[in-house]
Amino acid sequence: MKIATSEEMRNIDRLASEDYGLPELLLMENAGHRAAQAMEHLLETVEGKTICVLAGSGNNGGDAFAAARYLHNMGAKIKIFLTCESDHLKPSASSMKKISDKMGIEVHGLDEDRDWNRLHLALKFTDGILDGILGTGFNGELKKKVLRLIEEINNAGKKVLSIDIPSGVEADTGRISTVAVIADMTLTMGLPKVGHLLSPGADMTGRLIVDDIGIPQALLQSDGIQQSLLDEKLAKTLLPLRGKSVHKGDCGKILVVAGSLGMTGAAALAATAVLRAGAGVVTLAVPASVQPVLAGQLQEVMVQPIEESTAGILGGEKALTRLLELSQSHDVVLIGPGLGRSMETQELIRMFTAKVNKPLIMDADAIFAFNSQPDDLSKLPQVPVLTPHLGEMAGLLGVSVSELRESLLPIVREAAAEYQCVLVVKSECTLVAYPDGAIFLSMVGNPGMATAGSGDVLAGTIAGLMKQTESELAPLVGVYLHGRAGDIAYSEKGEALMAGDIRENLAAALKELRQKQMHIS
């Protein structure tokens, strides 16, 4: 499924009218009907229930008026509160209001103190609230009246259904300037929006329901829309089934360059995640002095000691030569987890990545090595996969995390194109961005995964899949399996889960995906 920006959604609505002859009023009618059904689902029944409908001046308000009519016909007692004067309504919304007026549905303004008192009392005794105040076109600062109205909604403590997006959330960023409606459920029209998936908007959305309201699929699946959902439906199409004659060499020989004194855990997590993702052979290259530690605990991984110029860290010409030799006999290279940030290690990383000509995944300290010279990424002999968290991404670009969050999608898209790399940006909704502008947003994962080592497991998972599927698809499958494994672990461990729990549940996530592929229940 595609994900739309507000501009793309406006263009879809326009083309639905101009190219297909679908009137705006018809789509609004469909939206209202579906919103009424969603409210019935939220409240279990609407018959005999009191519902407060909050309507703005735009098409979102028109959807709310249409929904109010359907709810009225379904036996609900409706009270509508309008945020503007009736003559300020957009034409379609005005038409919907006129129909509800003829049906005798209560409509109140919010101009005087007694209006606000009426609203406060209505919210106190209502069973549900329908938020149709602001739509996907909102950005910037809230007007005082709307801000006060949203605060009233949130303080009421009642079930809330938002139409399209919770009022106060910017559709293209998930940004909230001051406050936003905290919805239990959001019904969005046509396609999900970026703001449903990125925090803080994602925290306001509640359960997300997507309805096409009759918009032709050709418009909703246009190649011009470059954002897509990374969900189970997509993931199960990306990983080929294994043949019976497969052997370990077919599944990938992966070289992991990781670890340093005091950070052997990152190397162990990454290397074993490679195997849990289904790779056939894993070699872990580590500083010679820490090799005995890792070799003693990793039975299935070949742990190679690399000569070190300083105890416990990788660096120097001999280390570079040996790593390049090892890379020649492997299909894929993962570098970075726990390597450290000493100057000689950082120099080794830059020299090694400039010379190795194998599919390359760069994590953690390998990304840090390019902070002062990110342009060098575009000069590498391959298109590397980088797996930064938001702090590492901000460091690479020389901006603050808050600046990055302000325009996360456009910044990440531009960086992937400029540096000619695939960016797997880890956040509450992991993004996978390609140099051609395509971005995928993950639908799996949970807050419990905010734990040390989770990123090492993700990097290893992606590396382990590089030979099993087309290398450019491995980041997508890896992000899905990692998030799904985290969700399985979360169902048992909650916020106490550790990175090792994610790694161990990769097997269950992979098995589940295979069963879905084969339609086994």
d(CA 504, CA 486): 10
pLDDT more than 70, % of the chain: 100
- Among residues 490, 17, 460, 47, which one has the least CA distance to residue 255? 460
Query: What is the overall mean pLDDT for the chain?
Result: 96
Q: Which tokens hold the place of 3?
A: 């994900």
pLDDT more than 90, % of the chain: 94
Identify the CATH class of 2-225. Answer: alpha beta
CA distances from 18 to 73, 188, 219, 338 (A): 32, 22, 12, 56
pLDDT one-digit tens code per residue, 468-510: 999 999 999 999 999 999 999 999 999 999 999 999 999 999 9
CA distances from 520 to 237, 338, 469, 483, 514 (A): 15, 40, 21, 21, 9
Full DSSP string of 201-222: HHHHH-EEEEE-TT--HHHHT-
The ranges assigned to domains in the chain are 2-225, 234-238+249-517
- Quote the Cα angle for 107-112-116, to 5°: 65
Whether 228 and 204 have beta carbons less than 8 Å apart is answered as: no
Helix/strand number for the chain, H first, E second: 22, 18
Whether 389 and 426 have beta carbons less than 8 Å apart is answered as: yes
DSSP bridge partners of 52: 79, 129
Identify the CATH class of 234-238+249-517. Answer: alpha beta
Note the pTM of the prediction, 2 decimals: 0.94
| Average pLDDT for 223-243 | 93
- Quote the Cα angle for 314-315-319, to 5°: 85
Say which amino acid occupies 101. D
d(CA 47, CA 381): 65
> Which pLDDT score, from 0 to 100, does residue 249 have?
84
Residue 520 pLDDT exceeds 60: no
Phi/psi-derived region of residue 190, left when phi > 0, alpha when psi is between -120 and 50, beta in every other case = left
CA distances from 278 to 252, 274, 468, 509 (A): 9, 7, 8, 12
- Quote the Cα angle for 91-67-27, to 5°: 55
Residue 521 pLDDT exceeds 70: no
DSSP classification of residue 142: P
